[in-house]
Amino acid sequence: MLTGDGYLVRLHFSCGILASDQARHIARLAQRYGNGLIDLTRRANLQIRGVSEERITGLQAQLVAANLIAEDAQGADAPNVIASPLAGRSREALIDITPIVRDLETRLATELGARELPAKFCVVIEDGARFSLKDVAADIAFEACERNGKVRFAVLIGGGEVGGFVEADEIAATALTLMSAFTALRTKTVAPRMCELVREVGLPAITASCPALGGLSRKLWNARHDVDGRGKPGQDVLGLIADNVLGVGAPFGSFHADQLQLLADLAERFAESEMRLTPWRAILIPAVAVAHVKHIAAKCERAGLIIDPSDRRRHAAACAGAPACASASVNTRGMAAALAPLLKPQETLHVSGCAKSCASSASASVTLVGRDGRFDFVRNGKASDTPASFGLSAEAARAAVERIAAEDLARV
Closest CA to 22 of 84, 82, 83, 65: 65
Closest to ligand SF4 by CB, 110 or 384: 384
Closest to ligand SF4 by CB, 163 or 353: 353
Closest to ligand SF4 by CB, 22 or 352: 352
How many C-beta atoms surround the C-beta of residue 73 within 10 A? 11
List Cβ neighbours of 311 (8 Å cut-off, separation of 6 or more): 238, 249
Q: Where are the beta strands (DSSP E) in 179-270?
A: 239-241, 245-249, 254-256
10 binding ligand SF4? (CB under 6 A): no
Question: Looking at 354, 364, 378, 392, which residue binds ligand SF4 (CB under 6 A)?
Answer: 354
Closest to ligand SF4 by CB, 325 or 340: 325
327 binding ligand SF4? (CB under 6 A): yes
Minimum distance between the CB of residue 338 and ligand SF4, rounded to whole angstroms? Answer: 17
Our separate counts of H helices and E strands in the chain read 11, 20
For ligand SF4 (CB under 6 A), the number of binding residues is 12
Minimum distance between the CB of residue 327 and ligand SF4, rounded to whole angstroms? Answer: 4
Q: Is 283 within 8 Å of 17 (Cβ atoms)?
A: no
Using CB atoms within 10 A of its CB, is residue 118 exposed (0-12), middle (13-18) or buried (19+)? middle
Minimum distance between the CB of residue 3 and ligand SF4, rounded to whole angstroms? Answer: 7
Question: Looking at 138, 145, 191, 320, which residue binds ligand SF4 (CB under 6 A)?
Answer: 320
Q: Is 33 within 8 Å of 48 (Cβ atoms)?
A: yes
Measured in residues, the chain has a length of 412
The pattern of x and - marking residues 290 through 319 that bind ligand SF4 according to CB under 6 A reads: -----------------------------x
Minimum distance between the CB of residue 129 and ligand SF4, rounded to whole angstroms? Answer: 32
Three-state DSSP state, 231: coil
Minimum distance between the CB of residue 354 and ligand SF4, rounded to whole angstroms? Answer: 3
User: Each residue of 174-213: b (16+ CB within 10 Å) or e?
Assistant: bbbbbbebbeebbeeeebebbbebbeebebeebbeebebb
CA distance to 224, 264, 276, per residue, from 288 (Å): 29, 12, 12
Minimum distance between the CB of residue 279 and ligand SF4, rounded to whole angstroms? Answer: 17
Q: Is 280 within 8 Å of 239 (Cβ atoms)?
A: no
The pattern of x and - marking residues 151 through 190 that bind ligand SF4 according to CB under 6 A reads: ----------------------------------------
Question: Looking at 40, 97, 325, 339, which residue binds ligand SF4 (CB under 6 A)?
Answer: 325
Question: Looking at 102, 356, 379, 398, which residue binds ligand SF4 (CB under 6 A)?
Answer: 356
Whole-angstrom distance, CA of residue 117 vs CA of residue 297: 41
- Which residues within the stretch 358-387 sit at the binding site for ligand SF4 (CB under 6 A)? 358
Using CB positions, name the residue nearest to ligand SF4: 353
357 binding ligand SF4? (CB under 6 A): yes
Q: For residue 39, what are the β-bridge partners?
A: 47, 254
Binding residues for ligand SF4 (CB under 6 A): 319-321, 325, 327-328, 352-354, 356-358
